[in-house]
């Protein structure tokens, strides 16, 4: 009989990793939202670098026309 780990056992429900949340007091103690983000390692420069690393998205003419039609009809 093959032994399965808890991570691959299909009968076990998936357990999400807990995401740490911060209180308003924590954010204010850091000096506000911008200072808090900077302390967490987030910055406009890193965001710009991350966006530049994304691969370009290419649409065919048919896909583009379909998207434009959806936008026009679903306002």
Structure tokens belonging to residue 5: 């780990």
Note the pTM of the prediction, 2 decimals. Answer: 0.43
- In SS3 terms, the chain reads as CCCCCCCCCCCCCCCCCCCCCCCHHHHHHHCCHHHHHHHCCCCHHHHHHHHHHCCCCCCCHHHHHHHHHHHHHCC
Each residue of 7-58: pLDDT tens digit? 566 787 888 888 889 999 999 999 999 999 998 889 999 999 999 999 999 9
Residue 61: which residues within 8 A CB-CB, separation 6 or more?
Answer: none
**pLDDT for 6 beyond 70:** no
pLDDT of residue 72: 92
- Distance between alpha carbon 6 and the CA centroid of its chain, in Å? 26
pLDDT of residue 13: 84
pLDDT of residue 16: 84
Where in the chain are the domains?
1-53
């Amino acid at each position: 009989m093959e032994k399965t780990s808890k991570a691959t056992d299909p009968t076990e429900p998936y357990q999400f990793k807990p995401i740490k949340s911060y209180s308003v007091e924590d954010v204010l103690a850091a000096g506000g939202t911008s200072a808090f983000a900077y302390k967490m390692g987030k910055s406009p420069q890193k965001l710009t670098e991350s966006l530049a690393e994304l691969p370009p998205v290419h649409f065919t003419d048919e896909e583009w026309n379909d998207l434009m039609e959806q936008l026009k009809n679903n306002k």
